[in-house]
Amino acid sequence: MTVHAYGQPPRPWALRPAESSTPGTPTTSAPPAPAAGRARRGRRRPTVGLAAIAVAALVAGCGVPTDPRPQPVTPPPQYRTLTPAAPATPEAGTVETTLCLTRGNNLVRVTRPVDRAPTPEELLAELTTGASESERAQGLQSAVAGLTSLAMERIENRIATVAIGEGLEGLAFDNQLLVYAQIVCTLDAHPAIDGVYFSRDGEQVSVPRGDGTQTRRMLTDADYEVLLEPPR
């Protein structure tokens, strides 16, 4: 140990670094390297913090609420449910109605364009009016034309009752058959009618069917199917 004057040991700050074994080259001690684990942990912390800040900024920018409770979501206009449009009203003359006319001793179903669907009473009136000019040009006619003694008595539970007068009694059997066949075939084609009865003075009467037999029961177009004209 070097002893300075006054017999005191040298101060730590007074010590000089050891000289290098090579003349002219000072020797310095390298500072201790930091632990690898510490360095990595020190660099990761700011990365996690920046990521959290970025996520928070992204959420705020997208407008996502931070309320933990469920929130209603309103879809954009192009994804909202549209109210279906009301069906278009048919143009005038685009509705078709079916009547049964005659050609010779046969029934022929014809369709007429009309402004609206007619009632059963209006169909019966059409038969008494007769065939149109274009229909007559095709050899069609109505055996019911001119019979003013016919009237719709009632429609109950989809069953029509047609009142007939004494005017039919003066017709030949074949003509009577065509009258009943035309009425039943035309009315049964109406969507509100499932069958037809005939009455006189409030009482049901017996009328001829297509096969020539008489009946008082309800009639449908199937009872006169044998009279339908074959397709041409």
Question: What integer best gives the mean pLDDT of the chain?
Answer: 74
| pTM of the model as a whole | 0.60
Q: What are the backbone angles phi and psi of residue 8, rounded to the nearest 5°?
A: -100, 145
Mean pLDDT of 132-148: 93
Distance CA 104, CA 219 (A): 22
Name the packing angle between helices 173-188 and 120-129 (round to 10°).
140
Mean pLDDT of 79-86: 45
Q: Residue 173 has what pLDDT?
A: 83
Distance CA 106, CA 213 (A): 17
Q: In the predicted model, is pLDDT for residue 25 greater than 60?
A: no
pLDDT digits (tens, 9 = 90+) for 27-63: 444 444 444 444 444 444 444 454 444 444 444 444 5
More confident residue, 117 or 47: 117
More confident residue, 17 or 227: 227
- The residue with tokens 């920046």 is 50
SS3 labels along the chain: CCCCHHHCCCCHHHCCCCCCCCCCCCCCCCCCCCCHHHHHHHHHHHHHHHHHHHHHHHHHHHCCCCCCCCCCCCCCHHHCCCCCCCCCCCCCCCEEEEEEEEECCEEEEEEEEECCCCCHHHHHHHHHHCCCHHHHHCCCECCCCCCCCCEEEEEECCEEEEECCHHHHHCCHHHHHHHHHHHHHHHHCCCCCCEEEEEECCEECCEECCCCCEECCCECHHHHHHHECCCC
Q: Residue 217 has what pLDDT?
A: 95
CB 208 within 8 A of CB 220: no
Q: Residue 167 has what pLDDT?
A: 73
Give the confidence band of 6 by pLDDT, cuts at 50, 70, 90: very low
Mean pLDDT of 191-197: 96
- The residue with tokens 């010590």 is 15
More confident residue, 146 or 3: 146
pLDDT digits (tens, 9 = 90+) for 141-179: 999 998 888 999 999 999 999 999 877 777 888 889 999
Q: Residue 189 has what pLDDT?
A: 95
